[in-house]
Structure 1
Amino acid sequence: MRDRDTNLTRRRLLAGLVAVPAAPLVFMPAMASERLSEDDPQARALNYRHDASAVEHPDYREGQTCANCQLYTDADAAEWGPCAAFPGRLVAAGGWCSAWVPRA
């Protein structure tokens, strides 16, 4: 019985050691603080623009903005908010990129 308790304790310790380094990945959207530049390589790859009305992309449809995208992780953010497509960065609520997904 004692070996079983030792194994459970060891497993919990190892699980905790694995979880600690992964914590920033889970909370990254909440820690976003730097505004995304349109010149950022990832932004360019996804055709990101701060102003959706200026987008000229075949996938863009009028009315699509970051604020009504499912990847915009803080629907209450008025002007700039975190986006799952650009971890650690803020995107313009009125912006758009080709990763746009309708909010469910």
Structure 2
Amino acid sequence: MGDRDTNLTRRRLLAGLVAVPAAPLMFMPAMASERLSEDDPQARALSYVHDASTTDHPDYREGQTCLNCQLYTDADAAEWGPCAVFPGKLVAAAGWCSAWVPRA
């Protein structure tokens, strides 16, 4: 029984050693690489525009942009950045969509 416990402990140790370096990769959001098109079906469904000042959506309020939206996940991205609503895509910092949420 002692050998069995030792083998299980070794397996757990090895599994832990392998998992630790890989942990950041599992929790890191997918990197956005492609700019979102206004013609994208999801963008159209959420009334996304590259320039917030051009929208006539009834929910839009002056001053709302992707840059000051909580869903814009890199507030340091000044021109194009990632958005939680459009994974894998970059949205215009000056853009807007109906999913806009004020940054806290």
Same fold (TM > 0.5): yes
Unaligned runs of 5+ in 2: none
2:36 maps to which residue? 36
1:82 maps to which residue? 82
Distance (whole Å) between structure 2 residues aligned to residue 71 and residue 5 of structure 1: 47
Shift of 1:26: 3.6
AA aligned to 2:39 is D
Distance (whole Å) between structure 2 residues aligned to residue 53 and residue 39 of structure 1: 18
Is the partner of 2:63 in helix, strand or coil?
coil
Q: CA RMSD in A?
A: 2.6
1:65 maps to which residue? 65
TM-score (normalised: structure 1): 0.77
Q: Label 1:38 to 1:4 Cα distance change in 2 as closer, same or farther (>3 A).
A: farther
Distance (whole Å) between structure 1 residues aligned to residue 101 and residue 80 of structure 2: 18
Unaligned runs of 5+ in 1: none
TM-score (normalised: structure 2): 0.77
Shift of 1:5: 6.6
Shift of 1:6: 2.3
Distance (whole Å) between structure 1 residues aligned to residue 53 and residue 63 of structure 2: 9
Runs of 4+ in 1 over 4 A off after TM superposition: none
Distance (whole Å) between structure 1 residues aligned to residue 51 and residue 6 of structure 2: 59
2:8 maps to which residue? 6
**Which structure has the greater CA radius of gyration?**
2
Distance (whole Å) between structure 2 residues aligned to residue 55 and residue 77 of structure 1: 22
Is the partner of 1:53 in helix, strand or coil?
helix
